[in-house]
């Protein structure tokens, strides 16, 4: 039993070391803002579609300019625009996060038009 515990402990250490080494390469200073934006935008994609291009009746974010998206989110946040769900969601974002989201989805549109991924 003692040997099994030692093996499990070492296996845990090794797995942790491998995961941490991979994370250090994945989160570099160059791509950290992109990763933060992706994490912030992830909940949006469940309704508005991947890349912000909605396959349903829910409005697409794809093709919209950052100023429009930021204004819309601020409108939801202050309840000047009505939407049961979006009013609740937008209230959870700071003004800076709203700008980040708006820029993120505008960049998705720009990247798609220029052929980048």
Cβ partners under 8 Å of residue 90, min gap 6: 73, 74, 76, 77, 98
Reported as a single tens digit per residue, the pLDDT across 31-42 is 566 888 999 999
Residue 67 has pLDDT above 70, yes or no: yes
**pTM recorded for the entire structure:** 0.68
Reported as a single tens digit per residue, the pLDDT across 70-101 is 999 999 999 999 998 999 999 999 999 999 99
> 5-25 b/e with 16+ CB inside 10 Å = b?
eeeeeeeeeeeeeeeeeeeee
Distance (Å, whole) CA 61 – CA 109 = 9
Percent of the chain with pLDDT over 90: 50
**Closest residue by Cα to residue 91 from 112, 71, 108, 77:** 77
Q: How many residues comprise the chain?
A: 117
Count of CA atoms in the C-beta half-sphere (13 A) of 58: 17
């Amino acid at each position: 039993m003692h040997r099994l515990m030692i093996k499990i402990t070492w296996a845990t250490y090794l797995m942790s070391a491998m995961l941490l080494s991979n994370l250090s390469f994945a989160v570099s200073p160059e791509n950290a803002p992109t990763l933060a934006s992706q994490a912030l935008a992830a909940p949006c994609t469940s309704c508005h579609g991947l890349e912000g291009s909605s396959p349903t009746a829910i409005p697409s974010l794809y093709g919209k300019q950052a100023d429009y998206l930021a204004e819309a989110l601020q409108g939801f946040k202050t309840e000047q625009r009505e939407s049961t769900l979006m009013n609740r969601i937008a209230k959870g974002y700071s003004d800076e996060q709203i700008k980040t989201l708006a820029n993120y989805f505008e960049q998705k549109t720009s990247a798609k038009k220029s052929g980048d991924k």
